[in-house]
Every structure is written in structure tokens, then in C-alpha cells.
Structure 1
Amino acid sequence: MAPTPLPEPSATPTATATPLPSPTTAPTAPPPPTLTPAPEPLTVWAAGDEARRDALARLLSEAAAAANVPIRIRSSTPDAMIARLRVDQIDGRPPPDVIWGDGNDLAILRTMGLIQAVRSTPAAEGTLPAVVVGATADDQQWGVPVGAQGFLLLLYNRKLVEYPPRTIDALIAAARTNTGGGRFGLVAGWTEARWFALWLDITGGAMLDADGMPALDAPAVVSALELLRTLRRYGPTPPSTYDEGARLFRRGRVALAIDGDWALESYRGLTDTLELGIAPLPLANRGVPAAAPLTGVYLMYGAALDGQRLAQAETLAATLREPVWQARIARDLSMLPASIPALNDPAVTDDPALAAAATYAGNAPGIPPTRPIRCAWDAIEVELPPFLLGRRTAAETATAMQRRAMACVER
């Protein structure tokens, strides 16, 4: 039997490699992380006197760093700031984000429409009433009070006066005693409204009535004019100016001066002619400290500021209201703090001028940023010179002041 043939061997299949697709694009690299841009600094225009401009810029920079608010500071005098902002407004440029300035600046900037009312205000019971009044118009507050300045003090030459007079009657007596022999008893801003507000406070009056309108034709105004005429007898012969009186005081020819915080640097250090003493204003005859007006200092918000940047500005203002920064404002800027509790800080109590001003700061009248008070001040300063030259009686002068002030308001 024939053998069964073996089956034909089948061919071993050959593995065929599957070709890879040709790449059509280069591999995509992962995108770099998106960086959050640093917030744009707030522009802060700081208006102040030249002597303390560096100290003000340093204080603002350090307070902003503590508040974690980036700022860019521009400093100038108040007049230069207002002039620059007027030009910017005409050219259509926006105002700064934040402005540091006094009550006069606030009144002008509000009229120009360059600042906005604040959304939240510090507790009234913790703030000097004068600086609240100085920022309030149309039932809104137009700046956050951080300080106060423009206060009047009783200054005396220790070579001529051993103890400063404590009452208005004692002041008159001391001025009388030191008048004669080429010397004068007292110098002041005889024709200035800020000083007249002091005489008016002593006689129990006020420049504005309860409705915020001029109230200059009143018995207390007549009494204040008579007090002014009495005090004026012991100064240089009219029409001697405030500047002339200050020069005489510096030269040691005047025993007493009622002058402001702005003048202190010109008096200090003149030991050859003037051994300067600083005292509180005298008590009025009714036994309370006489009070002169205070000018507030404020942080104001630009009219266009909003959103997160406005919140940053509010954080900076709140920081400047903290006790440590209120004390720094007193110590570094020789300015009263706006906070009433801060008046007890050593930065105030250890400074003779600030301590003297603090005795009446809580009762000081403010200067609201409104037309009636500006009209009243202007009327007083126009009508006082004829009165002091003997051309009108006190009653006639009070009537003329009121008439002029009301005509101004109604224009």
C-alpha cells in the first residue's frame, strides 16, 4: 500500500509593520501661566506747606505700605495744586485719584466738581466737630478728616511777661501794662475774620445762624466789635498791618501776640530778641476757654474714582485714622489729629502749641465749604478797617457787615 503523502507545508506568514502616520504639525507646548498684573498705583496729590512736604510724602508712603495700597505721590503747595487742576480740567484730563488738602482746598475742589462725597464717615463722636463741619455741605461729607490746623494761640515774650494771662480781662490788663516807652502790649490780625471769630466767640456769638446764613447784625457782634476796639488800643497805631505786628513781636517790642500755628517757625529761635512762650487762649468772661476756628485737613476722593480703586482709597483713609497714624500726623506734621482720643497722645500733650490748641479744639467752630461763610468772612474783612479807623460805630459796622454778606450770598 502506498504511503499517504504528507501535506504541503504552508508558508509562514511574514509580519508587516504598520506605518506610523507622518506628523502634520509640531507638538503644542503648554501655554505659560497667566500673570495677574500688579494693580495700578493710586495717584495721590498731597498739598501742603513747603517746610513739611517731605515729611508729608513720607507719612503717606508709609501709611499706604501699611495698608497694602500702592500709591504714587505728587506734592505741591495748595495754590499750585489748584492751578494745575484747573488747567487739567480745561484740557479734559481726569483729576487725581486721591487728594490730601485742607478745608479751603476742599471747598474749591467741590465747587469745581473734582471730588465726590464719601460713602462712609468716621464716627462723629470720635472726631473734632470743627473738621466735620469743614467738610459738610448739602447734607454730605466731602472728605475724610485726618487732621486740623490754622489754630490761634496766645504767644508771649517771657522777657516782658512772667505768666501768661488766663482770662480776657487779665489779657487786657497785661496789654495795658506793657504799652508805652516804644513797646506795645498786644498784636493780632486786627482786620482778619479768623481773629474776629475769636472775639465773637468770647462775646457768645457766631457768624452763621441755625440755618447756615450770615448772622452779623446781632448784639454779640456789636459786643465783639467793642472788645476788638478795646484790645486795638494796645497795639501799633492804625492802620498797622498783621505783618508789621509780627515783625515787632519778633524784635521784642511787643509783650503779647495772638497768632497762628503757621507763624511759630518764624518766632522760634530768636532768643536775642524774643524768648517765646506759648499758652492757651484766655478764658472768656463766662469762664469757658475761648475758641478760634480750626481748618480741617482731609483725604478726598477724585470724582471719577470707583470700584476696587475707590475701596483702596477708603482703606488708606481708614488707616490714617488709626491711633498710630493720628499720632504720627501730630508728631511729623505739627498738626492736630482729627480724632478726639488722639488729643491725649504724648505727640500732642508734649508739644506746647498742640497742647494749647487741644484745650479748645473740641469746642472750636468749623468753616463749612459753603458760600454763606465765605461771604461772611469777606464782609468782615471789608468792613473792619473803617471801623478801626473810627469812621463807623460798632452798630453801624455790624449792619454793614450783614448787608454786604447777604448781598454776596444772593449773587
Structure 2
Amino acid sequence: MTSLGGATVGTALAVDWTLTALVHILGFGLLACLAATGVTFVYRGYSTRSIPTGGAVLVGVSAVALWLNAAIGLDGEVVVSETVGGGTPLANRASAAYLLGVFVVSGVTAELGRRLGDHLGCEVFDITTLDARGEVATLVRSAGLVVEVELPETIEDIDGYSPADDGIKRDLAGRTMLVPRRLTLDELRERLPARLRRDFDVDHVHLELAAGGAVDHLAIGVQPDGIGPSLPSETVAVAIRSDPSPAASTGDPVEVWTDGGESSRLVTTGTIRATLGDVTTVVIDAAHADAFATDETYRLVMQPATPDDGHELASVLRAAEETVTVVDVEPDGPLRGEFVGWLPGRVLVLERGDELLPFPGANRTLEAGDTVFVLGSPTQLRQLLAYDSEREDERSERRGPRSRDGGSSSGSDVETADADTESGFPRGVLSKLTQ
């Protein structure tokens, strides 16, 4: 009788544990569903696009994992039932089955939450979706209302811009895009890049179309984030605790001193980049970046010098569609003997030996050994790198007579100078522009 009674009690406890575990599993599934629904709803409203399946499921499962980690971390047990004498030890077969059930159910309910959130987002934000592989798309194509534009198998990088992620290039390679049938080449040249920028999170798109509308060349690039791209070469930005002068502003040259009274010493010199309360961001030489202590307050002394507008120029360049690249004029290259005004884009600086010529005149002739800093759009920079003076004859006749101080139209291609691909600006361009 004793063994029979013990077996009955054990069976009752097992049933109670199982029921409680199932209730908890369903609760965690509901949590994952709500988390996935919320993030999908917000993503659809913010971007007008559907969130990737993996992203929504990851958010839902992560919410469950955080909850479980907090619960298990309290006493190292998986708490599922208070009637069985507390929690079940983590190193237990029952706990393993319980956790497996939690994550399987959470993954399924998270996918359901993604679909629910996407549907609610479309309804609330009045977004109409069209499945390009559905019956409606097939009917539209059969009626001749759209045409298919196939992208090249090789997606290139735009010179002067930071390269896009390889995953984006793989998604675009060989992809077929549907566009309205009656678009002209100019309209297609405007609409297709805008769609690629919106749907694939790239900042710059350059494409070349053939006469029939086929895409012969496609290159993409992204805009770098942060203040690093606007810093001159061999400099860094350091945030320090200080008490700057009320008259200090961005671009002002300053001396950075330790705040030690009579024992105060000069740490370095630099320029103010930004201030927020008692924190000041100062641009200094990279060699002095390790001279600061994290627990020390510094004193800024204004220098009797005129601040430059390099930071403003950098902000304008970053906000513009154009970027800056550097080309060298080779002795036997196509640029030798050309006028500055004939080049695609805007010449910012002409470096000739030790002389710097900012914004040179359009009638200035390029010589062998010159280094030219050019601001232009992706199309203009591509034309510059493939520059051929013979192709420019027609344009040159409209602008004026050709230069006669030498220069063969044949020779090596234009060579691009070393560029900082992480920052998006050629090395030293800001320092040259502000000299």
C-alpha cells in the first residue's frame, strides 16, 4: 500500500508539473508573439516595408530568453510549479524538455506575430502591398503595363564612396526589377536609383542605361557615419571634460591645459568640434591622443588665431550627393594640357609642387605632376577616371579653343590618388582646402 500510495503521489506531481509547464510555455509563446507584433508594426510604419522574417523571430525569441535568464539567474533553477516543492534544477531532463518547448513555441508564435504586425501596420498606416510573384503581378505583366529590367551580375563600388555591404550586392546581382512600361530613359534613370536607395538601404546609386533600357553598369555606395570622415588626415577627435569659454564655438583653435593650478601644464593644441555641458570634443593630432586621462578635467585656453571653416566645408560635402576624389596628371596621360574648366565636376584644389591653388580658374592648364582634387557626382567622377580628350572635342569647341602647351591625347589612364575608404574623403583633402 505504501508503494502504491507513493506512485499515486508521484503521478499527481508529474501531471501537475506538466500542466504548469505547458501554461508557462504558452505564456512565453504569447510574449514572443507580442514582441514580434510590436517590432513588425513599428518597422512597417517607419519604413513602409515588411521586416525580414528572421528579424522578427529573433526579437520575439530574445524577449523570452531575457525573461528566462532573469528567472534562472535568481536561484539557478527553472521555476515551473510551486506545488512540487519549488523549481526544477537546471541540469535536469525535465528542464531541458521544458526549455526546448519554450523556444520552439516562441519561434512559431513570433512568426505569427510578424504576420499579424505586418497586417496591422498596413491597415493603420494605409500601405498597399503588391506581391510581384502573385496573380495580380502576372495579370499586370500580361497586359503589358510593366517591363522587366534586369540588373547586372556584377555590382561595383562607386569611386570616392564607402563600399556597400557584400550582402546587398548579392541581393542586387542579376535581380529583375519591374517598372512601368511607358517610362522614358530619363524617367527610368531617375526612378530606378531612387527605388534601389529606398529598398536596399544604400545612399548612392550610379547606373548606365543602354538605348533599349537595359542596365549596362550599376555601382552603389554608402555614406559614412560619425565625425571621422570629416577629420583631416593624422588627426583624431577626443571628448574631454572641460570648462570652455562661453565665446568658444566650433572651429576655434584652443590650447588644452591640465587643471592643476600652479602645476598646470600644456597637453596639446587643437580645434573645438562640439560642446555639450562640461564635455568638449577637440580635434587634435593623432600622436597626442594618448595624453589624456579619463578621470581628469582640463582647461581650454583660446588661441589668438583666426578659426577656419573646414568643419563647415566637411559638413556640406557630407550632406551633398557629390564626393571628392583625387587624380594625378600623368606626363603622357589624357589630362595633360587640358583646361580645368573642361574636367567633369568642380576642381577644388590644384596642387602643383609646393604650391596650392584653391578653386583655380577654368582657363588654367593642367601640367604633368599636378594633383587635382575634384568634387563631383558619381557620374562625373566615372567620366573623369575614364577621361579621353578626343571624346571631349565637341564639348571643348563649345567652351573655347584647346590648349597648345603640349599634351598627347593618348597615354595611360588617370590614376586615382590614395583615398581613405573608411572616411569617404581622400587623405588630406580638408587640410589642403583650408590652407
TM-score range, shorter chain: under 0.3
User: Normalized per residue, which structure has more strand?
Assistant: 2
Q: With the length of structure 1 as denominator, give the TM-score of the two structures.
A: 0.24
Q: With the length of structure 2 as denominator, give the TM-score of the two structures.
A: 0.23
**Higher RCO (C-alpha 8 Å, min separation 6):** 1
